[in-house]
Amino acid sequence: MGFWARMSRAEPQISHSKLLRFVSQPGKAAPHFDETRRLIKPRSDLVANTADYENLPLVTANGFREYDARWLFGKEINLLGIQSLGLGLGTYLHDIGVQPKVVTGHDFRSYSSSIKNALIIGLLQAGCEVHDIGLALSPVAYYAQFALDCPAVAMVTASHNENGWTGVKMGAQRPLTFGPDEINAIKKIVLEGLGKERPGGAYVSVTDMRETYLQAVTKGRKLSRPIKVIAACGNGTAGAFAPEALRRIGAEVIGMDDALDFTFPKYNPNPEDMEMLHAMSHAVKELGADLCLGFDGDGDRCGVVDDTGREIFADKIGVMLARGLSAEHKNAQFVVDVKSTGLYLTDPVLKANGVKTDYWKTGHSYIKRRTSELGALAGFEKSGHFFFNPPIGHGYDDGIVAGIQVLEMLDKAGGKKLSALYDALPKSWGSPTMAPYCPDDRKYAVVDAMVAEYAGLKDKGETLLGQKIVSVVTVNGVRVTLEDGTWGLVRASSNKPSLVVVVESPASEANMRAMFADLDGRLSKHPEVGEYDQKI
Ligand SMILES: [Zn+2]
């Protein structure tokens, strides 16, 4: 907190518009805006510690992922490459006719601030008005789009990825972030050197967005009792936001690794990884807390551990939240990703409340978009992204808003423990998300082969594990479901060189493991599939 206190003393109440505003000369096209000037195309083969690397942009194509952009900084992109990306994004905003006002922010890594500054130079080059909110979580940047009335966002973060990675989460239509079409359009502009310089760039430094955000997410929310919650931040950026937000709604908050440290001395802040989940579980038991909420590196995800130390995956938390929300909002629509539990279709409480649930493509951008398109009350993604539309949220993923929803659910449960709410769900056995290595340029072909195998089995009416195959959903990889509800999923990771494998059974642990053995056996026939990050 010291950082914020120092900053607010150093910059007392200066209005945004007076801060560091650089505006190019209106009406006068400076010579460097010569439209015939050809900009340099980024190269993909530059190496550090050479003259070219200092003078030319380096951008590799693989960094443009399905719905965001991630590179190994230094090896796959340099600062001039990041500047090209800023110019490309700014050019794209002009191309699509969006008012070129962009919120920028950066996560807490040793190099994120430099990367954001390079990105800003590119945006200014493109003639954008940049509103820089400084150190931030992704949801704080998304919130700032509303608060500052900026159509676009460019948040520099590699989320929970290892140090060395960088990335930018971008959007131009609140509350959505870009999908494949937009990313591909920007990729083309950047890689083909089609960025266009324009006059009109302006920089506005916004120094009070943390406080504005904290007030907004806690407004009108007060717990009836001081629920004892551990806020696990893994030394990531969330440490500067989450514990304070939870305190403001009346929780008794114990901060865990809430001091920012970009060396991530314990583990990467990722509440989907067993390492962080185990630490959260241990802390709950040791401190006798009601629950632990774990936040990822950029705060758009939240993981939950109950009072007994059990991890409850986000899809199950979603079912629990949906039970309460659907009691208050009749015939509520929800969206969940294909990695999620089958309970949304079978839970008797949700059925009685007339809930409709749509299983959609995994990925924060996809679920956010689908939740918005369907006007759903909420969307849940198993990796811990929660999307709440009004009246609860603004439609984007915010780990802190999600954590507050979990605390309010517990508050309304009349003294029941979180473990009791969890145990009240129909039993099922599920795996965590498992990721076997597979190169980026091979992973889609492997998944296609798996889709063909399972679709083929179903078409021929063959059995799997001695059961009939009832459905093969191919909206995103392949999700194969058997008669007893046991299902398995294989899809390609959208942001890492790996596959994603998930299995679940409402029948037995043995059936869940048998489904995994089947998937794993088929995958092992592909030599390009390597080691798993974790395995059941
Ligand atoms: Zn994240």
| d(C-alpha 55, C-alpha 481), whole Å | 54
What pLDDT shows up at residue 5? 38
Tokens of 5: 């206190």
How far is ligand 1, taken at its centre, from the CA of residue 287, in Å? 27
Strands 386-388 and 487-492: unpaired
How far is ligand 1, taken at its centre, from the CA of residue 159, in Å? 4
Sorted by sequence, the CB contacts under 8 Å of residue 423 that are 6+ apart come out as none
Going 54 to 56 to 60 to 65, the CA torsion angle's sign is positive
Q: What is residue 475's three-state secondary structure? A: coil
What pLDDT shows up at residue 32? 54
The C-alpha R_g of the chain, in whole angstroms, comes to: 24
How far is ligand 1, taken at its centre, from the CA of residue 209, in Å? 19
How far is ligand 1, taken at its centre, from the CA of residue 20, in Å? 30
Where b means 16+ CB within 10 Å and e means fewer, 344-359 reads: beebebbeebebebbb
**Amino acid at the residue 6:** R
How far is ligand 1, taken at its centre, from the CA of residue 300, in Å? 5
Q: What number of residues does the chain have?
A: 536
In this structure, whether the domain defined by 430-523 belongs to CATH 3.30.310.50 is answered with yes
The crossing angle, in degrees rounded to 10, of helices 209-218 and 138-147 is 90
84, 138, 159, 326: which is the annotated catalytic residue?
159
| Residue with token string 């504005």 | 212
Nearest to 105 by CA among 126, 120, 90: 120
Run of H or E residues at 229: strand 228-232
How far is ligand 1, taken at its centre, from the CA of residue 201, in Å? 29
| d(C-alpha 266, C-alpha 40), whole Å | 42
Q: Which residues surround ligand 1, an ion (CB under 5 A)?
A: 159, 296, 298, 300-301
What pLDDT shows up at residue 13? 39
Residue-wise pLDDT tens for the chain (536 aa)?
Answer: 344 433 333 333 334 443 444 444 444 444 455 666 667 899 999 999 999 999 999 999 999 988 889 999 999 999 999 999 999 999 999 999 999 999 999 999 999 999 999 999 999 999 999 999 999 999 999 999 999 999 999 999 998 899 999 999 999 999 999 999 999 999 999 999 999 999 999 999 999 999 999 999 999 999 999 999 999 999 999 999 999 999 999 999 999 999 999 999 999 999 988 899 999 999 999 999 999 999 999 999 999 999 999 999 899 999 999 999 999 998 899 999 998 998 898 889 999 999 999 889 988 899 999 999 999 999 999 889 999 999 999 999 999 999 999 999 999 998 999 999 999 999 989 888 899 999 999 999 999 999 999 999 999 999 999 999 988 989 889 999 898 889 999 999 977 899 999 999 989 999 999 999 999 999 999 999 999 999 98
Among 3.40.50.620, 3.40.50.720, 3.40.120.10, 1.20.1250.20, name the CATH number for the domain at 2-209: 3.40.120.10
How far is ligand 1, taken at its centre, from the CA of residue 241, in Å? 14
Q: What is residue 173's three-state secondary structure? A: strand
What pLDDT shows up at residue 15? 42
How far is ligand 1, taken at its centre, from the CA of residue 384, in Å? 9
What pLDDT shows up at residue 33? 58
Q: By the 8 A CB rule, do 219 and 400 touch?
A: no
Q: Domain coordinates of the chain in residue numbers? A: 2-209, 430-523
Question: DSSP for 498-511?
Answer: BEEEEEEESS-HHH
In the residue annotation, 159 being an active-site residue is answered as yes
How far is ligand 1, taken at its centre, from the CA of residue 193, in Å? 30
CA atoms within 13 Å, Cβ hemisphere of 137: 32
How far is ligand 1, taken at its centre, from the CA of residue 56, in Å? 30
How far is ligand 1, taken at its centre, from the CA of residue 432, in Å? 17
How far is ligand 1, taken at its centre, from the CA of residue 364, in Å? 9
| Residue with token string 């954008």 | 128
